[in-house]
Chain A
């Protein structure tokens, strides 16, 4: 691995400069309650080093005024004490998701997600994987010290095999806890990330290598390249129970063999272009101030109070569509309308029905337990809903006759062989339109010409449109030539 690390700063002058506090840090850490001149990190902790590398890079790249730093939950929860940039503190593991929201809102800004191993590699696994997979143009610094620091030394997903922690007191046992998770390698299996590297704070050479990785990741974000990720193996002397120097050596001797230092992704070719749809004004996108609908300027000559309709059949018979057509016509005619579908498993398993209400006054319940009209497109629907239609209402049944064993319902029944009629016209799919024609003829709620006009606006295929228009007339004729079944007390049908 990093055997011959060279850095551009070799003179004694720049060596001194490197020890100056970056202007990206606050002079005094006012957000801390006490000890405002020092950080809350323990002596020898890797966070202090990484903070410094990031602050220096932001200063040198002139990014301070453009940067938003996302602090996680963990020891670095208080990163906003130190970084004099825009700061957002977020929930445990969710930094990549929050950073996504920030970056999408401010695409020109530098968004940094800074996370530890519990945060990123345990509770936040989904968020980091998917932010990387979307290629969010953010930079993630992942501090891997193999332990939960802030909560007092519990096992992390990166804890080494055999390593003791308060929740793996006998050492991590792969049979019980699995193996250390390799996040850099894992993310490098994804297509979108542009840069993935693992570095270690184990000696000065490697710290300088980490310094270059931090810079490169931020430069890539500055240039809009894509998702960049730097995993940093980092000492935690306090929890490990080691002196700072021993802890640094432990990173080199124990962690590096498990987590190899390497560049896992350094993408040169650009990512595909955005491909956003053409931009349009909001009113146009929402269909406001356009289209065929208006505030009831359509003409309806027949007397009409209101109507509740239950339409039922198989999925694919245009049941929901027929309901929508009626509701749309009602909307155009200035009526109050409601269309309520049966939704969910039913619509996925082959049967469909919807309730439609047309009214001159405000509609209360869109549910019609006693519909004025039932359009039953199949026998199942007839059997299920026929009893709901009260005397005075009527049923349009898609068939030549009622099923032999079917008891005569209290409502009037018209048998309209809509599927057969539609089939003759050229498409069985027009059966719903045949039924609409029959319903319009029987109720007079809309002129057939209104329905024709709607179909002309909606049906783009001229052959189908011709069939649909014929279907309306055929439906009207069919109901006229029907011998009424059921009670004859309503000879004029519904009105």
Chain B
């Protein structure tokens, strides 16, 4: 069924199709339509929607519901995500599955409500305390707001770990055709959950391990699971990367503008290709290294001061020149603007770079 839908609303449509039955959140622009859709949908299907007193409370409600085995989620934007970081650390430490959607806005501080991609570090690199990872998925369309939310629930359960859907203000606010089909969802059993039943009476959900050896063992076991995820879950999309001499890398809304730019540039014979990470953690490092094999120049574009840039450079281990072009404050580069950035890097028109990173 194809319907015109807003990105933020598509998140909840995907969530319901994934069997999500609880949402706890706090309003914030530009993510509020997710809470509004949850408030509209969930009570009609026997689910729970609570507008919490704060993001701090919301993420801890998520913690409680996840501990009881519910498919549960919350959504926010930068400032709210900052408040949730403590809870995310606890969720990771207690190995509780849940989905957190961050519709990024401009920062730091109150910043503004226009789109940015400046929460990459806060989500991909952690943000809360302790040794943990969150799986991070980056939708670039309304369709993916739904489909990656659905995937997020599956990955959260698979790895018993919080999973973040990292969108931006534009992807959240825009409307596109959304094609959905109702399929009965398969939610795995959660024998570890605390459900107030005789079978689960012996269960304890906790992130406290008082003995150093126990806590180290817990961390090692979590690390093993993260390695499993790193091997199995990286996802990306490539466009015209075959024979690309210049490889542009971007995610979310930026990848859309890059795609338009690549389409036009290719039509004019410019050998440029697009690499778009879909999972930001685990980062598709191997695929990126392969796509970049024949490129002389890599250009990372973000709505930030250069955050994913670090992962691109790590993936290429200094073998390629990696440049960066960033816009901030809610400015989104135009196709023409990015075209200029690429033109300036066409090998035949610039000095050949000897190697290494800048």
Chain A interface (Cβ < 8 Å from any Cβ of B): 31, 33, 64-68, 70-71, 77, 80, 84-91, 94, 97-106, 108-111, 126-127, 129-130, 134, 276-283, 285-291, 293-296, 324, 327-328, 330-331, 335-341, 343-345, 362-367, 369-370
Contact = CB atoms under 8 A, between A and B. Distances in A.
Interface in B84-106: 86-87, 90, 94
A87 B195 CA distance: 9
Q: Is the interface of B mostly helix, strand, loop or mixed?
A: mixed
Interface in B174-195: 174-177, 179-182, 194-195
Contact of A338 (B54, B175, B206): B175
B196 A67 contact: yes
B44 interface: yes
Nearest to B178: A331
Contacts of B62: 101
B65 A287 contact: no
Given A86-B194, A126-B53, A130-B57, 15 more contacts: A31-B204, A65-B198, A86-B200, A87-B204, A91-B86, A94-B60, A101-B60, A103-B64, A104-B50, A277-B44, A285-B41, A330-B177, A337-B4, A365-B259, A367-B334
Given A94-B87, A106-B195, A364 B70 contact: no
Contacts of B60: 90-91, 94, 97-98, 101, 127
A101 B73 CA distance: 11
Contacts of B36: none
B283 interface: no
B190 to A, nearest CB: 11
A97 B94 CA distance: 16
B330 to A, nearest CB: 9
B177 A336 contact: yes
Interface residues of B, number: 82
Contacts, number: 253
A354 B2 CA distance: 22
A327 to B, nearest CB: 5
Given A64-B201, A277-B43, A344-B113, A101 B61 contact: yes
Interface stretch (B16-24, B118-126, B155-163): B16-24
Interface in B101-154: 112-114
Contact of B194 (A31, A84, A88, A279): A88
Contact of A87 (B45, B173, B182, B194): B194
B351 interface: no
Contacts of A77: 208
Given A101-B61, A105-B65, A109-B195, A89 B208 contact: yes
Nearest to A334: B2
Contacts of B29: 343-344
B203 A86 contact: yes
B210 interface: yes
Q: Is the interface of A mostly helix, strand, loop or mixed?
A: mixed
Contacts of B52: 97, 130
A435 B336 CA distance: 29
B211 interface: yes
B1 A293 contact: yes
B313 interface: no
B50 A100 contact: yes
B44 A279 contact: yes
A138 B90 CA distance: 22
B64 A288 contact: no
A367 B333 CA distance: 9
A84 B201 contact: yes
A364 B65 contact: no
B207 interface: yes
Given A104-B50, A126-B53, A33 B211 contact: yes
Nearest to B254: A365
Most buried by B among A88, A340, A369: A88
Most buried by A among B50, B61, B258: B61
B263 to A, nearest CB: 6
B3 interface: yes
Contacts of B94: 89
21 contacts: A71-B206, A77-B208, A84-B202, A88-B205, A90-B63, A97-B57, A100-B64, A101-B62, A105-B22, A127-B57, A286-B17, A288-B1, A290-B1, A291-B1, A294-B1, A337-B4, A343-B30, A345-B113, A364-B263, A366-B174, A370-B336
Nearest to B264: A364
* Among all A-B residue pairs, the 3 with the closest Cβ atoms: A101-B64, A364-B260, A109-B196
A169 B2 CA distance: 68
Nearest to B332: A367
A105 B64 contact: yes
Contacts of A71: 206
B269 interface: no
B204 A286 contact: no
Given A109-B195, A130-B52, A367-B334, A293 B43 contact: no
B204 A366 contact: no
A109 B332 CA distance: 50
Contact of B4 (A66, A87, A339): A339
Nearest to A341: B173
A86 B196 CA distance: 6
Contacts of A295: 2, 179
A338 B22 contact: no
A343 B45 contact: no
Contacts of A294: 1-2
Given A102-B67, A105-B65, A68 B196 contact: yes
A86 B201 contact: yes
Contacts of B113: 343-345
Contacts of A102: 64-65, 67-68, 194
A280 B44 contact: yes
Nearest to A98: B64
Nearest to A289: B1
Contacts of B335: 364-365, 369
B45 A282 contact: yes
B76 to A, nearest CB: 15
Interface in B30-83: 30, 41, 43-46, 48, 50, 52-54, 56-58, 60-70, 72
Given A100-B50, A364-B256, A68 B194 contact: yes
A49 to B, nearest CB: 23
B64 A88 contact: yes
Contacts of A126: 53-54, 56-57
B196 A285 contact: no
Contacts of B208: 77, 89
Contacts of A367: 170, 257, 332, 334
B96 to A, nearest CB: 10
Given A91-B90, A105-B70, A366-B174, A99 B64 contact: yes
Contacts of A291: 1, 3
A103 B56 CA distance: 18
Nearest to B16: A282
B197 interface: yes
A335 B2 CA distance: 11
Nearest to B255: A364
Given A88-B206, A105-B68, A134-B50, A344 B195 contact: no
A360 to B, nearest CB: 13
A132 to B, nearest CB: 11
A121 B132 CA distance: 30
B169 interface: yes
